[in-house]
Amino acid sequence: MSAQQETGTATAHRVVILGAGYAGMAAAIQLAARVKRREDVQVTLVNAQERFTERMRLHMTATGQQLAELSIPHLLEGRGAQFVRGWVTAVDADAKTVRIDDDRVLPYDTLVYGLGGVADTSAVPGAEDHAYTLSSAQDAELLADRLARLGSGTVVVAGSGLTGIEAAAEIAERHPELNVVLLGRQEPGVAMNSKAKAYLHAALDRLGVQVRVGVEVVKVLPDAVELAGGESIAADAVLWTSGTRVSPLAAAAGLAVDGHGRIVTDAALRSVSHPEVYAIGDAAAIRQGYGVMHGTCQGGMPTGVQAALSIDRVLRGRQPKPFRFGYYHTPVSLGRGDAVVQFTRPDDSPRRICLTGRMAVRYKETVTASPWPTYSRMKKMPASGAFWPRGGRFTRIRRAQ
């Protein structure tokens, strides 16, 4: 199939969306719903798999729990958007083309870049070769397989951020026969208020997770991790959750990126170097009044919707509006039977209010399950996707900055 056949007629405006994660799906569904009656606009979504990866549930996959089969092409049906399954290997920002699996080329007029991020296993020697990650469903399944076969032993979870906490709790709950050691620089829940933090620590303690903070993992070996200072901790499996890195494709294409390789955007989420490229989700460096957004689903989905709204406006000869987003919560699962939810100010600092126990479990599950029904709703009523907290004074960028 030629590139032209894949993307439609030569006269249509071709919008290619890379990555069908939380942000890319939001962009594709929102845009496809808005331009469904326009024959002069072609929307194409490219993703490595047909099955939607519920990234927020990958610690469940890593402990052998089966997730729902969510089909991306099935959800796109009836809105005229095309789905291309494949691995993006290059973006040519001058020729305005995307290379897929090295042999297919998709031309674009507007590109939406939403390839997300993965665990940064380049951070220390040995992590790439010996550590497991929650970067994809396949990676999580590899860990599930290893844990199921262990019988006894020690699992080291490197990284005491939210992904590390959720994974350590889930492994400890599902595999009480294993010792789970959570290692990190900072205490778990460092950004929470004292009540939420104390609850989280007590839950990890109850589950038998050994927490060691103020430590720096400097090497991952086949059967241990080495700490700064020379101590080594024996490990039958190591899960690496410390830090994320993004695909090098954007930098290789000559797009302006920040120190983490994320595409630097203007207020309308367009690349500052290539305005025909929109960047969304974890792959984008988006500045708000409080600083550059960090990768979350709660912020990622609005970026996808906003990119779609902006593209629709530009196609109608109007100017895109500035994007504003304020955080509102940090929900953390502690196994299947417990959780803690820290409500936040728009700049992600903790409020006094938090939920714990069963209420928190219900809240967390509602949040985690919400993206797919949200996409289904947006397909019929695109305006329903456009509600998120704008963050008031916290997100306003002063001219002098």
Ligand X SMILES: Cc1cc2nc3c(=O)[nH]c(=O)nc-3n(C[C@H](O)[C@H](O)[C@H](O)COP(=O)(O)OP(=O)(O)OC[C@H]3O[C@@H](n4cnc5c(N)ncnc54)[C@H](O)[C@@H]3O)c2cc1C
Give the torsion sign (CA, 63, 68, 73, 76). negative
**Residue 112 in 3-state DSSP?**
strand
- The smaller minimum CB distance to ligand X, of residues 151 and 337, is found at 337
**Minimum distance between the CB of residue 98 and ligand X, rounded to whole angstroms?**
9
Provide the H-helix boundaries in 175-320.
Answer: 194-206, 249-252, 297-315
Please tell me the total number of residues recorded for the chain in this structure. 401
Question: Quick one: which of 34, 28, 22, 67 has its CA closest to 46?
Answer: 28
**Residue 397 in 3-state DSSP?**
coil
- The smaller minimum CB distance to ligand X, of residues 298 and 344, is found at 298
- Token pair 């010996």 is found at 130
Provide the H-helix boundaries in 117-261.
Answer: 127-130, 137-150, 162-174, 194-206, 249-252
| Radius of gyration of the CA atoms of the chain, in A | 21
- Both tokens of 93, joined, read 């920002």
- The smaller minimum CB distance to ligand X, of residues 224 and 308, is found at 308
- The smaller minimum CB distance to ligand X, of residues 47 and 154, is found at 47
Binding residues (CB under 6 A) for ligand X: these are 19-24, 46-48, 53, 55-56, 58-59, 87-88, 114-116, 134, 163, 166, 247, 281-283, 295-298, 300, 331
- The smaller minimum CB distance to ligand X, of residues 55 and 379, is found at 55
**Minimum distance between the CB of residue 2 and ligand X, rounded to whole angstroms?**
21
- The smaller minimum CB distance to ligand X, of residues 87 and 393, is found at 87
**Minimum distance between the CB of residue 162 and ligand X, rounded to whole angstroms?**
6
Question: Quick one: which of 135, 84, 75, 137 has its CA closest to 107?
Answer: 84
**Minimum distance between the CB of residue 319 and ligand X, rounded to whole angstroms?**
25
**Minimum distance between the CB of residue 247 and ligand X, rounded to whole angstroms?**
5
Packing angle of the helix pair 371-380, 22-34 (nearest 10 deg): 10
**Minimum distance between the CB of residue 61 and ligand X, rounded to whole angstroms?**
9
- Both tokens of 308, joined, read 């779609």
Give the CA dihedral 33, 36, 42, 46, nearest 10 degrees: 30
**Minimum distance between the CB of residue 87 and ligand X, rounded to whole angstroms?**
4
- The smaller minimum CB distance to ligand X, of residues 55 and 197, is found at 55
CA distances from 321 to 94, 259, 271 (A): 26, 26, 15
**Minimum distance between the CB of residue 94 and ligand X, rounded to whole angstroms?**
20
HSE toward the beta carbon, residue 171, CA cutoff 13 A: 35
- Amino acid type, 115: L
CA distance 373 to 26: 11
- The smaller minimum CB distance to ligand X, of residues 139 and 226, is found at 139
Give the CA dihedral 309, 311, 317, 320, nearest 10 degrees: 60
Chain residue at closest Cβ approach to ligand X? 21
- The smaller minimum CB distance to ligand X, of residues 18 and 224, is found at 18
**Minimum distance between the CB of residue 283 and ligand X, rounded to whole angstroms?**
6
